[in-house]
Amino acid sequence: MKKILEPKDSLLTIKYAPDGEVLNENPPRFTWMPASDEDLEYRLQLSKNPDFTEDATTTFEHIPYNFFTLDESLEPGTYYWRYSLNDKNFDYSQVRNFQITNDMIQTPLISREHRYDQVTLTHPRIWLNQEGIKNFRENLKKEKNYCGFDTFYQKSILTYLDKEFIKEPKPYPGNKRVVHLWRQNYTDCQEALSHIRSLAVGGVILEDERMIAQAKAALLEIAGWDTKGPTNRDYNDECAFRVAYALAFGYDWLYNYLTKEERDYVFDKLFIRTKQVADHVIVNSRIHFSLYDSHAVRSLSSVLSPCCIAMLTDCKEAKEWLDYTIEYFNVIYTPWGGIDGGWAEGPMYWTTGMAFVIDAINMIKNFTGIDIYKRPFFQKTGDFPLYCNPVDTYRASFSDQSNLGKYPGHKLAFNIRQFALVSKNENYRWFYDEVFKREPEIEQAFYNNGWWDFHFDEMVYQHDSKDTTFEKQELDMVKWFHDIGWVAINKDMKDFNNHIFMLTKSSPYGSVSHSHGDQNSFLLFAYGEPFIIKSGYYVGFNTSMHRDWRRQTKSHNTILIDGKGQYAEMDKAKQLNAKGCVCEVKEQENLVYIKENATKAYAENAPELKDYTREIYFIDKSYFVIVDSIEAEHEVSVDWLLHSLTEFNIDQNKFSIDRPKARLDGKVVYCSSQIESLTQTNEFEGVDLKEIEGLDEQWHLTMKTKKAKNHVIVSLFVPSKVEDRKIVTAIKDDQGHDVFIYFSHDGNTFSLRTDGNKRY
């Protein structure tokens, strides 16, 4: 027998699972490292005993990739599993085990053999089928604005009726990517998609020949766009995603109105564009092996789901790609979070990721009956924006944010409303209502009109959703997302006048993808005002503002070692190595304690750093004390950083921020290595000034220490309403071997002890 190759997993790769860990869904999701640099067929054995006796063992054959789940749940107990190539000349892998308990969510997946037994294969298949269209049409006769159709008609259909179809995007000058042209091109492609979809849906439902004729003309025109040109996947993938979806929707909804020649013409272009994406996802990026390709994962939702459903009976590849997509969603998804529902790329990329995956899950559910929403991640992921991007905050969350630091937006609200249906969580629905209460009209910025047609989305939601009774759920003041290393504190979240919000992170994802070199950083928003912010503007990926400021540690509220920050360049392996860790979170009646460690994040750029721990105390639900402990191989200076929308008022070791509704008083209470300087600037170091023309200035504070091997920095942050300023006094006692600091507020005293051996 030949021995099967079992490579070691790494930072970038899929893991061997389950392997003794606690599971949360039944059946388990099996994953393993591929046994080759090419995808081969596998077989897997599951047994109730480690010897794999025949009477207790089931064998599953012809598994096309290195991930798999069962089509039925397992009885409680201990199980053993192993895998091999689908070749009897190869021995099995090492044996791994797992346990099934009674309290696990039941999420079996219909097997490939029977996955499409009950599907309706007539067109359309995306969203509504023929029976669904008939019912919609009948209801529309009774109610003009059934499911918001009249709004969709007025705002979307009439917008494109008789409108000239968008022209094919031009190449970049010299074929060199230019951010504003990249964005304009994909916005144009989004308009092309909305044009075809709106007229196709309107024409078919209303049986309107004029709309159908215009939809056909638009579909045939976009089919004529150069598949190797500026909307090719490799040239501008955002364009490619939208063009492929437009072709799929038009092909599906207009199928019965196209001649055979027209169908063949559209199908050929649809197949080419779908294959471009499928090859990138499955063959080149191999996201079932190397996990962290953000756009490749998203293209499962935006391209492979609709395109393969539309083409399912027309080519064998469509079934293969759709099976891959469904199984990825059911086994591996998502590489950016886990059972807590977190999203390591931040709330803005949660918004885009979830918007597309919601569309895909709904398509798959409507077409096959497979309900991916039952998986634990989808039951909990509404918690992420709820707690980490609260509805009344802005400039107060981590990672790339294409909404330029504004309040949580309308598409995020649409997403969380969907998850309110999935989990019946009343708080999610409250979030949606508050967004639209604040901003009833949807702003027509590129991150709205360049990405979505809200009127179509609303119509689909109203049609697909059933009357749901939401369940009241208590809000947590402290929410720890173990999966991504974020911790949120929200005091009085629903009382905006009294809401205090602090967010901190020390993430196992490091600076990968849309994350930054910001481990042990924090943000503070209180009483309606941003105080300590995520600085800079996301004007575009890999711009100088993005590359040389926002990704870099100097733009975050953490520290530099001799002017050096965490690794934040483009090597994914080094990005994932530059990780942090939330070590401990404790919540008591009048105290929240968070401990995090970012030592590994500095290893590439500042290897002399031996340890960097940050401890955050939220005391009496009123003020914050932060303790930074730094240990180095030799003497180093520390730059201790803060960022604000407002100029800091600086007085020796004190600083304050005055905002219209509230004030923040801060103080470096203790610095073991002594303060060398406390300064600020409003410049974005290293940023092309053209990128920030017209944008508001921001302020960056640096407290620089003297050189020492060991540093302890204790800082105080006191947010107050303008009309009700809080006073917190801090008294230092350093007469013994340790340093005691006593904080007093409103008759209560909090005592803090630091290590006296680390004094300068």
CATH number at residue 264: 1.50.10.100
Residue 477 burial by CB count (10 A; 0-12/13-18/19+): exposed, middle or buried? middle
Pairing of strands 105-106, 25-26: parallel
Of 173, 163, 255, give the one whose Cα is nearest residue 211: 163
Block residue for tokens 């008609």: 153
DSSP structure string for 515-582:
--S-TTEEEEEETTEEEE---S---STTSHHIIIIITSGGGSSSEEETTB----SS-HHHHHHS--EE
CA–CA separation, 614 and 610 (whole Å): 14
Q: Which two tokens stand for residue 152?
A: 């969709």
- What local confidence, expressed as pLDDT, does residue 756 receive? 60
Query: CB neighbours of 193 closer than 8 A, spacing ≥ 6?
Result: 242, 243, 245, 246, 249
Percent of the chain predicted with pLDDT > 90: 94
CA–CA separation, 459 and 68 (whole Å): 35
Instruction: Give the end of a domain, one of 48, 75, 106.
Output: 106
Q: What is the mean pLDDT of residues 671-679?
A: 97
Instruction: Give the end of a domain, one of 309, 328, 347.
Output: 328
CATH number at residue 97: 2.60.40.10
Q: How many CB atoms lie within 10 A of CB 686?
A: 12
* 177 and 284 co-located in one domain: yes
* 101 and 133 co-located in one domain: no
Strand-pair partners of 632: 609
Instruction: Give the range among 382-386, 469-473, 546-550, 754-758 with minimum mean pLDDT.
Output: 754-758
* Residue 758 pLDDT greater than 60, yes or no: no
Is 745 contained in some domain?
Answer: no
* Residue 757 pLDDT greater than 70, yes or no: no
- What local confidence, expressed as pLDDT, does residue 470 receive? 85
* 302 and 436 co-located in one domain: no
* 373 and 279 co-located in one domain: no
- What local confidence, expressed as pLDDT, does residue 338 receive? 95
* 482 and 346 co-located in one domain: no
SS3 state at 79: strand
Block residue for tokens 């989990």: 423
Element housing 248 (H / E): helix 237-253
Is 750 contained in some domain?
Answer: no
* 163 and 272 co-located in one domain: yes
What are 512-531's pLDDT values in tens digits?
A: 999 999 999 999 999 999 99
CA–CA separation, 274 and 277 (whole Å): 5
| Boundaries of domain holding 621 | 478-721
* 561 and 637 co-located in one domain: yes
Is 751 contained in some domain?
Answer: no
Asked if 430 contacts 386 with a C-beta cutoff of 8 angstroms, the reply is no
The C-alpha angle with vertex 93 and arms to 87 and 97, in degrees rounded to 5, equals: 130
Q: Which residues of 700-735 are buried (b: 16+ CB within 10 A; e: fewer)?
A: bbebbbbbbbbbbbbbbbbbbbeeeeeebebeeeee
* 66 and 180 co-located in one domain: no
Is 403 contained in some domain?
Answer: yes
* 102 and 200 co-located in one domain: no
Side-chain-side CA neighbours of 458 within 13 Å: the count stands at 18
- What local confidence, expressed as pLDDT, does residue 734 receive? 82
Please give the radius of gyration of the chain, using alpha carbons only, rounded to the nearest integer.
28
Is 759 contained in some domain?
Answer: no
The tally of domains found in the chain comes to: 4
What are 100-119's pLDDT values in tens digits?
A: 999 999 999 999 999 999 99
Strand-pair partners of 67: 31
Q: What is the mean pLDDT of residues 50-55?
A: 96
What are 456-512's pLDDT values in tens digits?
A: 999 999 999 877 788 889 999 999 999 999 999 999 999 999 999 999 999 999 999
Percent of the chain predicted with pLDDT > 70: 99
Is 15 contained in some domain?
Answer: no
Phi, psi dihedrals of residue 642, rounded to the nearest 5°: -140, 155
Instruction: Give the end of a domain, one of 293, 328, 363.
Output: 328
- What local confidence, expressed as pLDDT, does residue 760 receive? 37
CA–CA separation, 211 and 664 (whole Å): 58
CA–CA separation, 183 and 167 (whole Å): 15
* 44 and 177 co-located in one domain: no
Is 586 contained in some domain?
Answer: yes
* 465 and 486 co-located in one domain: no
Query: Which pTM does this prediction carry?
Result: 0.96
Is 33 contained in some domain?
Answer: yes
* Residue 353 pLDDT greater than 70, yes or no: yes
* 448 and 484 co-located in one domain: no
Residue 656 burial by CB count (10 A; 0-12/13-18/19+): exposed, middle or buried? middle
Instruction: Give the range among 311-325, 394-408, 428-442 with minimum mean pLDDT.
Output: 394-408
DSSP structure string for 180-201:
HHHHHHHHHHHHHHHHHHHHHH
* Residue 737 pLDDT greater than 80, yes or no: no
Block residue for tokens 């702003």: 443
Of 542, 524, 552, 512, give the one whose Cα is nearest residue 395: 524
CATH number at residue 487: 2.70.98.70
